Amino acid sequence: MDAWSILLEVVILLAAATLLGLAAQRLGQNAISGYLLAGVLLRPLFERAAGTAAIRLLAEVGVALLLFTIGLEFSLRRLRALGARVGMLGAVQIVGTWALVAGAARTFGLNWRQAVLVGIAAAMSSTSVVLRLISERSELDSSHGRAAVGVCLLQDLAVVPAMLLPPMLAGSSQGAEGLGGFAAALMKATALLAGVYVLMRWVIPVLMMRAAGARNRDLPVLLATVVCLGSSWASHTLGLSAVLGAFAAGIILSECALAGQIRADLIPLRAAFLPLFFTSVGMLTGLPGWSSVAWLLALAGGVLTLKTAVVLVLGAALGLRPGDALRAGLVLAQAGEFSFVLLESARRAGLLEESLYRLLLSVSVLTLLVSPLLAAASPAVAAALESLLAAAGRRPAPQPRSPTPRLRDHVVVIGYGPAGQQVVERLRSAQIAVLVIDLNPKTAASSSPDAPIHYGDATQQEVLESAGVARAAAVVVTVPDPLTARNIIAQARRMAAGAPVIARARYHVHRQALAEAGSDRLVSEEVVVGRELARETLLAVGSHR
């Protein structure tokens, strides 16, 4: 097949991915679902084409760029900011899911090497899908959103050792004779990571700064592309996964001052290749036969249920509200980009037969397809769980401070972030008594008789009673998550019928829902920002006249 025929196939794939990606988004799904379906539907057209290898090569370039940008988004500072509880949840989720899935795989007859790989692949979630689902619902600052992002960051970090497993396990499968190959693979991986670290830590940032200083926007993009593809080539040359080098380079380069701009510049380039990766995955999967549909649905349902249950149980054990833990579990239940890459690497290493490989791909694709539906249903499912636990008397008892009956006509401020702190400061300067409710135990530890801060979940009636909401002059809700804020407003309105409830609306679109919940006054961040921008602009223009 000549180059023009291959180009025609690429055009057909991209066109189908575009159409089905748009259709998926119109139906409330993720565009990646459309890319996968495009590959599934086009498989009969391409399965005999000689250009499939070329398309797979372009797809590998796409996933290398994807994982490079995901690595750029990784930040140890961001991970530390999420807290030890979220970090522990991510670490235990990976180990727990891996152990349970690996045990189930052994029960179904897979050997221990296959079980190890299948367990790790199942433990991974799609960082790009999770971030998009959470950000589209404005839940990045919510308790379950922070938990889901933290788990994704830990999963991303675990990818580096996970991608070393296929070649190592393939070497160890040869018994004593394979120990030399195992040691060689380990040494190659160590050399690769050490070399990438040296380059990304001390050499490339200097070149990046020089390229940026040249005031030519093309140079940093070209250098980042060279870094990404060069790292992939080095990893492939050493007999390791090609994407491992790109991902490791992205993680190390994430601490560079230009990481944000590099990521922004590479997004258009990545967008041209990313659909090829997912459509190629869809082509490898194909449409399942009728005889295997029930089996496929059962396996996908089992993976979704198990991953959700692991996060629910572990999250609740680590102090998350059961509803928040359940919502985080539903968002994280799907397979991820790393799952596909790991399974492909295992197939190339001879650890997975073609039939098993395609079955696992089909299960992974199905979990991705239903992921937006699970995210959309998660608020209702979490609310139902909270109601069941409350009715059964199994809800974890809140641990508020003792009631403060002497406080009357005070203002209850819920949430002590930057917005809440400004409210408290202004009220206290006006000699108005204030009581704060916050879910951060470190914040509550700084409480004093003059500045009382109660630890607790303000969606629970007992916590609001402890703060004397029924006797309050006003209630101020500064919580950014719209769903949590709506629940707090409704609870406060029932308990303090005469007190005004003032709430923060992070986005203007949430004003109606918060007003319907019972808020008397709403402060829209977008409106406030717009006014401040206009004021500063007028001042700037006036100073130059």
CATH value at residue 431: 3.40.50.720
Task: Say yes or no: 210 and 315 in one domain.
Answer: yes
- Of 64-73, 262-271, 363-372, where does mean pLDDT reach its minimum? 262-271
Task: Say yes or no: 281 and 365 in one domain.
Answer: yes
Q: Who has greater pLDDT, 368 or 396? A: 368
Task: Say yes or no: 419 and 378 in one domain.
Answer: no
Task: Say yes or no: 353 and 462 in one domain.
Answer: no
Q: What's the number of CA atoms in the CB half-sphere (13 Å) around residue 182?
A: 13
Whether 362 is covered by a domain: the verdict is yes
Asked whether residue 226 carries a pLDDT value surpassing 80, the answer given is yes
Domain boundary at 335, 364, 382, which? 382
Task: Say yes or no: 378 and 424 in one domain.
Answer: no
- Of 216-225, 302-311, 518-527, where does mean pLDDT reach its minimum? 216-225
Task: Say yes or no: 173 and 233 in one domain.
Answer: yes
Residues 6+ apart with CB under 8 A from 315: 89, 147, 324, 325, 328, 329
Task: Say yes or no: 455 and 372 in one domain.
Answer: no
Domain boundary at 382, 400, 419, which? 382
Confidence tier at 181 by pLDDT (50, 70, 90): low
Task: Say yes or no: 356 and 426 in one domain.
Answer: no
Q: In the chain, how many domains are there? A: 2
Task: Say yes or no: 365 and 415 in one domain.
Answer: no
Task: Say yes or no: 141 and 290 in one domain.
Answer: yes
Whether 373 is covered by a domain: the verdict is yes
CATH number at residue 284: 1.20.1530.20
Whether 402 is covered by a domain: the verdict is no
Whether 396 is covered by a domain: the verdict is no
Determine the Cα–Cα distance for residues 273 and 269; give it in Å rounded to an integer.
7
Predicted confidence at residue 114, as pLDDT, reads 92
Confidence tier at 402 by pLDDT (50, 70, 90): very low
Residues 6+ apart with CB under 8 A from 168: 182, 185, 186
Of 366, 337, 371, nearest to 121 (Cα)? 337
Asked whether residue 447 carries a pLDDT value surpassing 90, the answer given is no
Whether 34 is covered by a domain: the verdict is no
Which residue type is seen at 372? P
Task: Say yes or no: 117 and 196 in one domain.
Answer: yes
Tokens representing residue 24 in the block: 């998926």
Predicted confidence at residue 399, as pLDDT, reads 46
Task: Say yes or no: 234 and 100 in one domain.
Answer: yes
Q: What are phi and psi of 318, to 5 degrees?
A: -90, 5
Asked whether residue 125 carries a pLDDT value surpassing 80, the answer given is yes
Determine the Cα–Cα distance for residues 221 and 228; give it in Å rounded to an integer.
11
Mean predicted lDDT score pLDDT of the chain: 81
Domain boundary at 363, 382, 401, which? 382
Domain that holds residue 378: 57-382
Model's pTM, two decimal places?
0.72
Whether 44 is covered by a domain: the verdict is no
Q: In 164-258, which ranges are continuous DSSP H helix?
A: 165-172, 179-198, 204-213, 218-237, 242-253
What integer is the mean pLDDT of 86-105? 91
What integer is the mean pLDDT of 345-354? 86
